[in-house]
Every structure is written in structure tokens, then in C-alpha cells.
Amino acid sequence: MKDEPRIGVFVCHCGTNIGGYVDVPSVVEYARTLVGVVHAERNTYTCADDGLTAIKKAIKDHNLNRVIVASCTPRTHAPLFRSAVADAGLNPYLFELVNIREHCSWVHMKEKEAATQKAKDLIRMGVARTALLEPQEEIRISVTPSALVIGGGIAGMTAALSIANQGFKVDIVEKDSEMGGMLRYLNDLYPGGRKASLVMDEFIGKVKNHPKIEVHTSSTIKKVDGYIGNFTVSVQNEKVPLDIKTGIIVVATGADEFKPVNLYGYSGSGNVLTELELEERLKNGSLQKLDSAIFIQCVGSRGEGRSYCSRICCNVAIKNSKLLKQTFPEADINILHNGIHAYGTYEKMYREAQELGVGFRKYSKEKPPEVTVDGERMRVKLYHELMGREIEYTPDIIVLSTPLIPHPENGDLSRMLKVPLGQDGFFLEAHVKLRPVDFATDGIFLCGSARAPADIIESINQGYSAASRAAIPLMNGYVQAEAITAVVDETKCIGCGYCASICPYRAASMNEKTVVAEEVSYITRKSYINPALCKGCGTCAAGCPAGAITPNHFTLPQIMATIKAFQQPGAYIYDRIKA
Amino acid sequence: MTEFSPRIVAFCCNWCSYVGADLAGTSRLKYPDNIRIMRVMCSGQVFPSYILKALELGADGVLVAGCHIGDCHYVSGNKKAQERVETLLRVMKTLGLDPRRVRLEWISASEGMKFASTVKEFVEEIKELGPNLLGVR
Ligand code: FES
């Protein structure tokens, strides 16, 4: 290290919060004896104006180049002290807070001696660490003021419109020849029964006429480079490949309906239908007469292989059963289910269906319904648990409620975007509760059924929320990267790729490097950690087999010095054994 | 003979366990004074060598504390910490070190009680084990 440490230690009484339980004057005396400390003082409240002034003054008077405040938890006042230190011309990372309140005085309120000793130890450890602290720079990354939305379904269109309405350019990349996604196949929407085509046309109209939105249909993503603020996305369309520069990316690729081939007599033709196929018949009016219909729920979901609940199928079946009952009041319509999930306000729709005369019959997982198809004639056998016997139906149509399933292309897209898929194959958000539309990778957001089966309302909600999250960096025009990041020493890196394989932010990547050593030159792999993406957790560093990665501000020497200081004075150990 | 008073070093992650320890303080929970906390950003940041170094220098126990699985601020750092500590415990056995001197605990920001009770328990256990003789040269 270039400069000799000149550390100032400020011990806070915090009124009586610390001063009442720790002998502060003796702690200050002790601090003065520590190597590297050139100044120590105590303050009634270091965080008050006079405390902060004292720090700034001491930095000038004693030419301090490191500062320690021993007071409360860094979570409260570290930013305040950092900025005071910065005001006095020091790099704010040459500051350390030692917690002698929450971790000391407040938990040892009746043992002044022990608390005082502990405060001394903690300060000694803090001094050892602080002597080795180095300045850190906070970097700002500029953000290209535009967005790219993958998927032109309802979620993607909502997100695109919302971002564009905030004044940013948006590119929508849609793999099909037209936008609309799942809406294109739907008949009436629940609740309320509006025609899906009307909703879709309204959205598509708005998107197409928006001066800030450009739509690329029949286009797929081929490559994604860059990071938040500065992505370059290569898009392949029928005609020409195109490179789009964008600040953020929204994934709104939706999902597919599961086609239950070989289940319950489904073959893709005939009168065993999926919900979407039923919607199509209702939409084009090809269903002219109906005496009896059977719905079977949870076909291909909530079981082995595909264990999740697709959430929306109960509501869809209820919606469609109501519609059938309203169109054909005499028809016998039954929903065979293994527990109806009409969550939230949809309970009302469920009641209405019951009142209309739709039958809800429970089957058990162990004895699911049996379907036999013999030409035009179809039979459904249901073992009724309560009656303890079988019931037989001879419906005109059988509707299978199958789950939404992830697109097969999700895997490729997730690799290009460097974002994860969950175990069911849907895209995985950063945190299931707290960050539902973010990815762990900055600058990429998620909405709609790409994440998990969602109905129209939920897709619109999520589209808005992804847009508002995405607008933060766009509005700011920059992102502040973490100052505390990890760095690779290329001379030590052995190119194993461990860091790149475990980094949840994909900040570490392996690059080919040509190494020239005297006469020979050869190509090898070296890790690079992008400071714009690194969050500074240090997990890669702790696992690097070559010790090539340093987590800044928590370096190996800094921590080792602290550990050593923990055990000094060494005499302590002997005393203890001798006693 | 004065009673053996263990010295324990703890690595607490910035986002959960350190805050859990703060909460123990704010709630004025009393726990033994044997522990000295070092803040790290994530339990995944704890090099196995830190733990060994602390033991080599005579720490009687080392506590590594992080967010509960699934709650790590950095997604999965605590899973890595778990793998590493488990491996380290096996290595310690082969080296003839008592793995009970090293503890990995998940303590959330709201578990001030758990922090205090973990320290209490750990101190009791280490008292039974006696001093770490590695520290004596
Ligand atoms: S941040 Fe707490 S364990 Fe990773």
C-alpha cells in the first residue's frame, strides 16, 4: 500500500446508549495505543452536527487518511458518515463503522467490564481492517433510452404501450406473423364476457399507431449482447437480420396450451377438445346444437411430470360452461374436477355457473374419469366418491382443461438472455414474493404467461408493472453500479470457468486471450467480471480455486488482518491456559 | 481455576444475519459476550480459509450466519456457503479438528431471538468442548 495509514477513531457515547454501559474514555485510551491510529476522541453523538464537524476537523488537523466511527449499526448512519468523510476530501470507502451499540452495549447492559472489553476488541479488529481499506469508485453506466419487448401478446403490448407512453422508443419482436398472442384464439373473456377480438383489435390498433413503437413480426431473437443500459439484440426476420440497440428488455413470450394427445380420447380431431379448441368453435359459431357436454379438469397438470396448477383453467372452464348453458339451456353440462380453484372474485362466477345448472362433480386422483370414444359415440365414466358408485355420461363434446405450458424455445432464449428458467420450464423471476417482474440480471424484466400461467387481467397487470420497473433506468438515463465489486487477476486465473458458472448475475464471463510468453504465444481462457453487472457478493471469490478473484472492500488481506486482530493480544490465550 | 470463556468469531451476512444481530440489540436481548461479529456481504463470501485461519489462531468457535435458503440477497450465495462449509467440516475431521467448532446458521433479519439463542447454545457447546488448543504455541 502506498500511504501509511493515519487512522482517526471516533467513539460515540450515543447519549447513554453506549456511554451508560461501556467505559468510553478507556476505550478511547485503548484505541490510541493501536498501530495506525493517530487520533482518537469521543463524542456525545458522533452523528450530530458537532460530531460530524469534529470528524472533518480531525481529518484536516491530523491529516487522517482513514476514519473509524465506533457507534451504532452501519445500516443506520454509514451513509451519513461516508458523506462527511467525503466532504473532507477522503474517498468515502476509506471509512469503517464499528458497531458497539446493537452488537455490544445493548446486549451486555449489566456487564460493563465485558462490554468495554468487547468494544475494545471490535475496534482493534476494525483498525486492522481499516488500515488496509482502499478507495473505491462508484461507476455510472449510461442507458440507451429505448426498450425491446419480446412477444406481442397482451402482456407485451401492455408493457410496450406503457413504456412508449412515457416517451421512450420501443421495439416489439413477435415471432408470429401477427400480434395478439393467445388472444387470437379466445372467444369471450372473463369476467364480464367481452369479445377477445375487440380487446385485441383495440390494443393492436394502439400499438400500430403509436409513433414510438416499431413492430417486427415474423421475427426471432438470434443473439443478445451487452448489459443493462447497453444491450444489442440481433433479430432475424424473413427478409433481413437487424441489430437493435436497447437499454432494457422485457420478456413477454407467453405460453402454449398443452395438447393432450392420447389422454381421454384426445386425438386433435373429433369431439374431444381442448379449451382453446372449444373457444374456436364458439367463436366461429360451428357449435350448432348440444345435448350434453363434459369438462374434465387438470388434464396433464397437478400430477406426475407436470406438477404445477395452471391456475386459469378452472375459471376458463367455468366461463365456457356458463356460456354453453346460456346458449343451450336444455343441455346437460358437467365439470369433472379434482377441486375447483376459483380464487378471489371468481368465486362469484363459480356460483353463477352452479345457479345456471352446471354440474360440478368431483373425481379423485386415484380414480380419474374414463373416456371411451367409438366413432361418434363417446362415453365418460366417473366414479362418484360420495355416492360410492359409477356414473356414466354420453356427451356430444368432451372438453379437456389442459395447462399452459412453457414454449419449447424458452431454453434458447434463456441462454441468450442469460436468465434462468424454473423447474417447470417457465422463466424464473428474481424473487417470488419481492421482485415478481424482475430478473436477477439487471435490465431484463418479465411479464405474462412466460413467467407462469396468467389470465388476461393478470397479464395486463404484469405488463404495467414490468413497464414501470423498466422505466426507472430509462427515466434516470443512467444506472449506478455497485462500487464494491469483484475483480479478476488474469495472471492467476486458470480459466476453469467456475465463477462464470455460479454467478447469478452473469457478471463473470470467460473470454479467449492470447498470452505471449517470450517466444511462444498461445490462446487461453480468462475470466472477466463486468463491474456494471457485479453486485459484489464475493461468492465467486470465495470459491475460486486459483485465488484469482478479489472481492473489493472485503479482500483476503483485509479479512485475514481482522481475524488476526480478533485473537490479539496473544497473551490472552496463555493466560487462559495457565489459569 | 477461572472458568473457560470461549472466544468465538462470527461471519454475518450484511442483509440478514447482521441485521438479525442488530435486532437482538434493539430488542435488548442479552447473550453471552464471547462473540465478535465480522460483517461480510454474503455468507457466500466466506472463504473456507477464513474459518481455518480463525481456528489456527485459536478461536474456540466460528459461526457463519446467512439468510435462509431462498432468501439470499444474492440469490444463491448461501447455497454455496453451505456446500463449502459442509466440505470444510469433512476436511476438518480428517485433519483431526472437531467439526463442532464450526457452525452454519440461517438467521433472518427478523430473527433477533434466534441470533441470541444461537450464540447462547454455541457458547455452551464450545464450553463443553474446552479451549481450542491450536491457538497455543
Ligand atoms: S446475503 Fe445473506 S446469505 Fe447471501
Average pLDDT on A331-358 reads 95
- Put simply, whether A539 touches B (Cβ < 8 Å) is yes
Of A558 and A571, more confident: A558
Rounded distance, CA A208 to CA A188, Å?
Answer: 23
Rounded distance, CA A290 to CA A330, Å?
Answer: 8
A576 confidence band (pLDDT: 50, 70, 90): very low
Residue B66 near ligand 1, beta carbon < 6 Å: yes
Residue A405 in this model has a pLDDT that exceeds 70:
yes
pLDDT at B88: 97
* CATH code for the domain in which residue B21 is found: 3.40.50
* Grid cell at residue B76: 444463491
Residue A540 to residues A365, A485, A527, A552, B74: CA-CA distances in angstroms? 46, 11, 11, 12, 12
Choose the closest CB to B25 out of A107, A502, A543: A107
pLDDT tens-place string over residues A487-525: 999 999 999 999 999 998 889 999 999 888 888 998 999
Q: Is residue B135 part of a domain?
A: no
- Asked if A537 and B48 come within 8 Å (Cβ–Cβ), the reply is no
**Structural domain of B124:** 8-129
- Asked if A504 and B76 come within 8 Å (Cβ–Cβ), the reply is yes
Q: Tell which of A121, A136, A537, A560 to mutate to test the B interface (max B CBs under 10 Å).
A: A537
Rounded distance, CA A253 to CA A412, Å?
Answer: 12
pLDDT at A434: 85
Q: If you write DSSP's letter for every residue of A399-437 in order, what string do you get?
A: EE---EE--TTHHHHHHHHT--B-TTSSB--SBTTTBTT
Give yes or no for a contact between A321 and A352, defined as CB atoms under 8 angstroms apart. Answer: no
DSSP E strands in A158-229: the ranges are 169-173, 213-216, 219-227
Q: If you write DSSP's letter for every residue of A55-114 in order, what string do you get?
A: HHHHHHHTT-SEEEEEES-HHHHHHHHHHHHHHTTS-GGGEEEEE-IIIIITT-TT-HHH
Q: Please state the ipTM of this predicted complex.
A: 0.96
Q: Is residue B137 part of a domain?
A: no
Choose the closest CB to B33 out of A73, A114, A566: A114
DSSP E strands in A248-342: the ranges are 248-251, 256-257, 272-274, 292-296, 332-337
Q: Strand pairing partners for A173?
A: A150, A216
Q: Nearest residue on chain B to A542, judged by CA atoms?
A: B47
pLDDT at A149: 98
A210 confidence band (pLDDT: 50, 70, 90): very high
Residue A579 in this model has a pLDDT that exceeds 50:
no
pLDDT at A573: 39
Residue B65 half-sphere exposure toward CB, CA atoms < 13 A: 32
pLDDT at A238: 80
Ligand 1 atom nearest to B106, measured from its CA: 3
B 36-65 near A (Cβ less than 8 A): 36-42, 44-50, 53-54, 57-59
Residue A184 in this model has a pLDDT that exceeds 90:
yes
Fold of A142-255+406-479: FAD/NAD(P)-binding domain (3.50.50)
pLDDT at A1: 46
Q: Is residue B3 part of a domain?
A: no
Rounded distance, CA A174 to CA A219, Å?
Answer: 6
pLDDT at A76: 87
pLDDT at A518: 85
pLDDT tens-place string over residues A107-143: 999 999 999 999 999 999 999 999 999 999 888 999 9
Distance from CA of A138 to the nearest CA of B (A): 17
Closest CA to A181 of A151, A147, A148, A149: A151
DSSP 8-class letter at A46:
T
Is CATH 3.30.420.590 what the domain over A261-404 is classified as, yes or no? no
Residue A228 in this model has a pLDDT that exceeds 90:
yes
Residue holding cell 362469484? A348
Residues of each domain in chain A carrying CATH 3.50.50.60: 142-255+406-479, 261-404
- Asked if A562 and B84 come within 8 Å (Cβ–Cβ), the reply is no
Residue holding cell 405460453? A255
Split into its structural domains, chain B has a count of: 1
Average pLDDT on A307-333 reads 96
Contacts of B16 in chain A (CB under 8 A): none
Q: Is residue B115 part of a domain?
A: yes
Q: Terminal CA-to-CA distance of chain A, rounded, Å?
A: 41
Determine which residue's CA is closest to atom 3 belonging to ligand 1: B66
Q: Is residue B56 part of a domain?
A: yes
Cβ-count burial A161-176 (b if 16+ within 10 Å, e if not): bbbbebebbbbbbbbe
pLDDT at A569: 55
Give yes or no for a contact between A426 and A255, defined as CB atoms under 8 angstroms apart. Answer: yes
| Dist. CA B64 → ligand 1 center (Å) | 11
pLDDT tens-place string over residues A370-384: 999 988 899 999 998
Q: If you write DSSP's letter for every residue of A215-254 in order, what string do you get?
A: EE-SEEEEEEEEETTEEEEEEEESS-EEEEEESEEEE---
Residue B31 half-sphere exposure toward CB, CA atoms < 13 A: 28
**Residues of chain B predicted below pLDDT 70:** 1, 135-137
Pick the CATH number of A7-136+559-572 from 1.10.20, 3.30.360, 3.40.50, 2.60.40: 3.40.50
pLDDT at A577: 38
CA torsion angle A18 A21 A22 A23 (round to 10) = 120
* Grid cell at residue A569: 493480544
Residue A575 in this model has a pLDDT that exceeds 80:
no
Provide the 3-class DSSP secondary structure of residue A389. strand
Q: Nearest residue on chain A to B48, judged by CA atoms?
A: A542
pLDDT at A2: 57
Of chain A, the percentage scoring pLDDT greater than 70 comes to 98
Q: Nearest residue on chain B to A420, judged by CA atoms?
A: B75
pLDDT tens-place string over residues A435-478: 999 998 899 999 999 999 999 999 999 999 999 999 999 999 99
Mean pLDDT of chain A: 93
Q: Is residue B1 part of a domain?
A: no
| Dist. CA A1 → ligand 1 center (Å) | 30
Q: Is residue B46 part of a domain?
A: yes
Q: Is residue B119 part of a domain?
A: yes
Residue A100 in this model has a pLDDT that exceeds 50:
yes
Average pLDDT on A315-321 reads 97
Residues A486-551, CATH architecture: 2-Layer Sandwich (3.30)
